[in-house]
Amino acid sequence: QVQLVESGGGLVQAGGSLRLSCAASGSIFGIKVMGWYRQAPGKQRELVATISSDSTTNYADSVKGRFTISRDNAKTTVDLQMNSLKPEDTAVYYCRIISTMYVYWGQGTQVTVSS
């Protein structure tokens, strides 16, 4: 079973930057969409950004202009560059990959932004 492993989370001051990376432990065929979601304490998991197989991107309004999603199909990785971070960006960030056969989720990585 292919697993997704996220890295790059941590503690940063407001206004700072972090780069999250998500790598698949094996090959995934028929990838349709890769994306990042987040879940803050007491809140539902929400979409942050997605990137489709034709590189079309979609962002939550709250992160537009600050976050950038990118993918490397050859390595089956998806990254999230997060700039101008705000305390309200604090959450556990999850990677998700949708293929023609399965939906894969990572285990999550904590991002904490201090004010």
Convert the pLDDT of each residue in 67-98 to its tens digit.
Answer: 999 998 777 899 999 999 999 999 999 999 99
Residues 30-63, buried b or exposed e (16+ Cβ, 10 A)?
ebebbbbbbeeeeeeeeebbbbeeeeeeebeeeb
Confidence of residue 5 (pLDDT cuts 50, 70, 90): very high
